[in-house]
Amino acid sequence: CFVLNELRQLVFILCMNSILQNCAVYEGQRVVAATVLRWPEVVKQCPTALVPWTDVLEKCCRQSMTWADVKNNCPEAVSKGRADHAEYRTLQRLSTLVSKRNENDLLVFYVYASPCAGRCANESDDRNILGLIPSVKKWDNYAFVFSKPHLHDTAESVGGSIGLGNIFRCDGSAGSIECTSCSTGGDVTQYCYKDNPQPDLFTSLSKESRKTFILVRGCG
């Protein structure tokens, strides 16, 4: 039974995971995981990783190169601050898990910070996740989980895609992670977009289910 205590443990394990160190999207049997790619920070983060941006490769006249290569040979090919956010990168690879799902699975989409208003939850940005996130509905049981809220309330935007009752904020440290439902009487729970209020509603996810989850780290 997938209950609240298991969700707390899962969030802590995902936060401590090291599978994202090479900046590639990780695709496992039951996991898809990604971190944000942001220029120029990505050079320090994973200098030997291959650059996935085809327009940058074209500008540098190369078929493949590392981030360190770009810094040393053609840094002008990338605008400062350009980023592929972790949520977007992960959702693009969700098909890896679709074919492996079981009817009793629970898919957990975990992201450290709630989707940012500037891109991920922005309907006018062509790289938002609002059009991609409904793909989690291919599972009968699913939850969108985050640890830190952005200053803007984006839970309502994401809730419009997958249902506010499926969104939770889980925060804390090892042994004391608390999970709060982002739906209170049909409205967004204040704790899901502000840091100062204390949690006032704790909801367990009780389904007989295996643990299929997506890990997303950071919202750029």
Tens-digit pLDDT profile for residues 65-96? 999 999 999 999 999 999 888 888 888 888 77
Residues 6+ apart with CB under 8 A from 62: 69
Strands 211-217 and 106-113, sheet pairing: parallel
How far, in Å, CA of 111 to CA of 44, rounded? 22
pLDDT for 123 beyond 80: no
State the pLDDT confidence band at 57, using cuts at 50, 70 and 90.
very high
State the pLDDT confidence band at 219, using cuts at 50, 70 and 90.
very low
Cis status, amide bond into 40, omega within 30 of 0: yes
In the beta sheet, which residues pair with residue 179? 170
What's the whole-number average pLDDT of the chain?
Answer: 74
CB 145 within 8 A of CB 103: no
Tens-digit pLDDT profile for residues 130-168? 677 778 888 888 888 888 887 556 666 666 677 888 888
Residue 160: per-residue pLDDT: 67
CB 75 within 8 A of CB 180: no
Quote the longest CA-to-CA distance of the chain.
56
How far, in Å, CA of 8 to CA of 107, rounded? 15
How far, in Å, CA of 41 to CA of 151, rounded? 23
How far, in Å, CA of 213 to CA of 158, rounded? 18
Q: Which two tokens stand for residue 157?
A: 């935007």
Residue 217: per-residue pLDDT: 34
How far, in Å, CA of 190 to CA of 183, rounded? 9
Q: Which two tokens stand for residue 100?
A: 């492996």
> How many CB atoms are located within 10 Å of the residue 185 CB?
6
The predicted model gives 104-130 an average pLDDT of: 72
State the pLDDT confidence band at 103, using cuts at 50, 70 and 90.
confident
Burial of 171 per CB tally in 10 Å (0-12, 13-18, 19+): buried
